[in-house]
Amino acid sequence: RNGDAASFKLAHATLDQVKAARPPGGAGYSDAQIRQGVLARNIENYIRTREFDASLKLIDEWELEFPEALWDGFTRTLRVKLAVAEKRPLVAARIALQHARANPTGVYADELLYRASQNFKLANEPTQAQAALDLLTSKYPESPYARGESKEK
């Protein structure tokens, strides 16, 4: 089947990238760290080149292989970027807002609230956009996202 061949090629290419990223002597990053870095780079590239199915497949693969990535929020930001690229701002806003609320102490919570606000604006949902912005500025006043958005008011 065509899909199986494409999946095999994608997995093989990613594995080759992980091997190539390993520093001489094996010191440095773990295989898991390298793998996640390669996944992030590839997903961003697939989003940029509008290969949305490949992006989604790699995000799903990342979350299955490294479930903690779901909680830290980075794969959520990638899902938001993917939804934006697919011209689905309301979906992007909801993903961002739900994760920021679920994990308010997460590293990406402020960025996700900012992205939620921006995408609610794009989806012509000004009340929800303002609510996300208010939450951002009240919970994370020192965040560059909160400070930058506040200047636009």
pLDDT tens per residue across span 102-112: 999 999 999 99
pTM of the model: 0.78
CA distance between the termini of the chain: 54
CB crowding 76-111: b at 16 or more within 10 Å, else e: bbbbbbbbbbeebbebbbbbbbebbeebeebebbbb
Structure-block tokens of residue 3: 């899909």
**pLDDT at residue 27 in the model:** 59
pLDDT digits (tens, 9 = 90+) for 136-146: 999 999 999 99
3-state secondary structure of 76: helix
